[in-house]
Structure 1
Amino acid sequence: MKLVVLACLAAVAVAAPQFQDFIPIVNILRDERQDDGNGNFRYVFEADNGIAVEASGTPGSQGQSNIQGSFRFVFPEGNTADVRYIADESGFQPQSDLLPTDHPLPAHAIELIRMTEELRAAGATWDEQGRRLTR
């Protein structure tokens, strides 16, 4: 019986995943940090696997941090993702070729918007259901 238990434990030990084979070794190429303690900061980080992060921040007018920065990483297929961003009173505003963009409005929608603007300029008003109140 002891031999069976010992054999089972040995089989489990041999079958256990070897995690050290899956952990990539990444070398840090650059790691710079500055913080003046008053809400102003800057940091830069870069690794040899293509990951890079850079940001600088200042105190915002409403108590938040205003941050400008960027980050980069490499997809498994080899393509590089680059994202630049601003985060301030207006929220998080990323910019990247990877982000989806709005489709252009069709010509008839642009014409309807133009007509509505003309009516507003002439004094027309609408209720909450979109019915025109004035002529």
Structure 2
Amino acid sequence: MQIVVLAALAVVAAAAPQYDSREVVPILKDERQQDEYGRYNLDVQTGNGIVLAQSGSPDGPEGSVIKAGQYSYTAPDGSPVVVKFVADEGGYQPQSDLLPVAPAFPHPIPQFVLDQIAKAAEEDRDRSREDRYD
């Protein structure tokens, strides 16, 4: 049993990721500003082409922070990636030409389908009324 445990431990240790690249990426720009009201601006640029610009303020519901900005970098294939975003009470909302977009619904919903949905909802309401009086 001890040999099995020792062998399993050796396999786990050997399978640990090896990080051969120890490249240090310099931070070329790191500017942060915050005022006494909680508003802030952030500008960061790295030596490998990553750029982040972000601003925020606690103007959301119940003092939640609303953020807006963009980040960019170069993809492994050499193409530029730019993502603009807003983060507010509606959640994180990124926008980019590279993000997939759901296709438009191919056709309008036929009236008979809408009628069936309405009838099913009516039957559910009737059934729940019957259950209350049993």
TM-score above 0.5: yes
Q: CA deviation at 1:130?
A: 4.8
Q: Does 1:71 align with 2:71?
A: yes
TM-score (ref. length: structure 1): 0.64
Distance in structure 2 (CA, Å) of the matches to 1:131 and 1:35: 55
Structure 2 gap ranges (5+)? 1-17, 126-134
Q: CA deviation at 1:33?
A: 0.5
The 5 A counterparts of 1:6-25 are: 22-25=21-24
Tell me the equivalent position of 1:50: 49
The 5 A counterparts of 1:1-135 are: 22-59=21-58, 60-107=60-107, 110=108, 112=110, 126=118, 129-130=120-121
Alignment RMSD (CA, Å): 2.9
Which structure has greater helix proportion?
Answer: 2
Q: CA deviation at 1:70?
A: 0.7
Q: CA deviation at 1:75?
A: 1.7
Displaced runs of 4+ in structure 1, greater than 4 A?
130-133
Q: CA deviation at 1:91?
A: 1.1
TM-score (ref. length: structure 2): 0.64
Structure 1 gap ranges (5+)? 1-17, 120-124
One-letter amino acid matched to 1:66: I
Q: CA deviation at 1:55?
A: 0.4
Identity of aligned residues (%): 35
Which is higher, the Rg of structure 1 or of structure 2?
A: 1
